[in-house]
Homo-oligomer: A and B are copies of this chain.
Amino acid sequence: MNKQNDGFGCRLIVDCPDKRGVVAKVSTSLSNLGATILEAHQHSDVASGHFFMRYEVARDAATSPEAWGAGFLLEGLSDVRDELGLNVRVSSMAERPKVALLATKASHCLVDVLQRWRSGELHCDITCVIANHPEMGEYADWYKVPFHHVDFTHQPKAAAFQEVDCLLDDHQVDLTVLARFMQIIPAPMIAKHHGRMINIHHSFLPSFVGARPYDQAFERGVKLIGATCHYVTEELDEGPIIEQEVIRVSHTDTPADLRRKGRMCEREALGRGLRLHLEGRIFIHGNKTVVFSD
């Protein structure tokens, strides 16, 4: 779907208890505010009676560019918002969220995200790579991203995580990506980054939670393996699922082969899931997601 990054394209994210007239009133307000809808998605969750909506809007050609923008739209929608009890977020599509990548020694997800980003696929600023081992520093250097090695060996884990969290604060990150970080994040840190921390799990969840999923898959003899991109919650590997990918395997594949084949799934699920998040296409609803794919 085409997007408008001329400084005037805006993204409108709305949710509320479902009721009649939300679309009518919001779209009428937008029309009155000189906005043309470029892309629209909406969804009513039947079980919970909740409504979700995402619009990409552009300034209508007849509308003056002065003052127009996210603030202008949010202000103009405030009456409708209050009347209908809407949650509304409006953001300029020119904004670039700040992203931190957390890694350990495995490079495939890290390099893939960095290269997608460099190629312009991911609309964000990658502000730092943080790792508990030094090896990934070389890749961060290549892509001119600050690298922080946090020592998880010679200090207590709590202290190490404290250091990571300070770095996230220092870099003012909007999103933390666990690109095969392989460390269990402490609950308070998860709570602090609720809805702003995504992980790539190297199995087709809910199969093979926990450690060594490829070895588990080998033991079970499955004929397809996969990977899952999900939000991090306190329950390990139980957070809302964003995206999944699978690939066929057979009895000839050793655990090492599964790891190699699975990397495609990990890269794809993470790359696509990250892009969906950065474009504001995901609503977390209970322990599930509403994903308005492009």
Bits for A216-230, please: 1 = Cβ < 8 Å to B, else 0.
000011111010000
Contact of A107 among B23, B37, B115, B207 (CB under 8 A): B115
Complex contacts, A250 vs chain B, CB 8 Å: 291, 293
Interface of chain A, helix or strand or loop or mixed?
Answer: mixed
Number of copies: 4
> In angstroms, how far is the closest chain B Cβ from the Cβ of A115?
5
Residues of A within 8 Å of B, CB-based: how many? Answer: 68
> In angstroms, how far is the closest chain B Cβ from the Cβ of A60?
5
Q: In the bound complex, what is the Cα–Cα distance between A119 and B180 (angstroms)?
A: 15
Contact of A206 among B1, B108, B208, B223 (CB under 8 A): B208
Enumerate A13-54 residues with CB–CB distance to B below 8 Å.
Answer: 20-21, 23-25, 27-28, 30-31, 34-40, 42-46
Asked whether A264 and B254 contact (CB < 8 A) given A27-B23, A241-B223, the answer is no
Q: Which of A66-74, A158-166, A282-290 contacts B (4 or more CB under 8 A)?
A: A282-290
Q: Is A252 an interface residue (CB 8 A)?
A: yes
B1 touches A254 (CB 8 A): yes
Q: Is A266 an interface residue (CB 8 A)?
A: no
B288 touches A251 (CB 8 A): yes
Complex contacts, A95 vs chain B, CB 8 Å: none
Q: Is A79 an interface residue (CB 8 A)?
A: no
Contact of A115 among B2, B111, B240 (CB under 8 A): B111
Complex contacts, A289 vs chain B, CB 8 Å: 221, 251
A121 touches B243 (CB 8 A): no
> In angstroms, how far is the closest chain B Cβ from the Cβ of A46?
6
B243 touches A291 (CB 8 A): no
A-B pairs with lowest CB-CB distance, top 3: A221-B288, A24-B27, A24-B31
28 residue pairs from A and B, CB less than 8 Å apart: A1-B252, A1-B254, A1-B257, A2-B46, A2-B256, A20-B31, A20-B34, A20-B36, A21-B31, A23-B31, A23-B40, A24-B28, A25-B28, A27-B28, A28-B28, A39-B44, A39-B252, A111-B115, A204-B207, A205-B207, A206-B220, A221-B240, A221-B289, A222-B241, A222-B244, A223-B241, A250-B291, A251-B291
Which residue numbers of A lie inside 8 Å of B, CB to CB? 1-2, 20-21, 23-25, 27-28, 30-31, 34-40, 42-46, 60, 107-108, 111, 115, 118-119, 121, 142, 204-208, 220-224, 226, 240-244, 246, 248, 250-254, 256-257, 260, 264, 268, 285, 287-291, 293-294
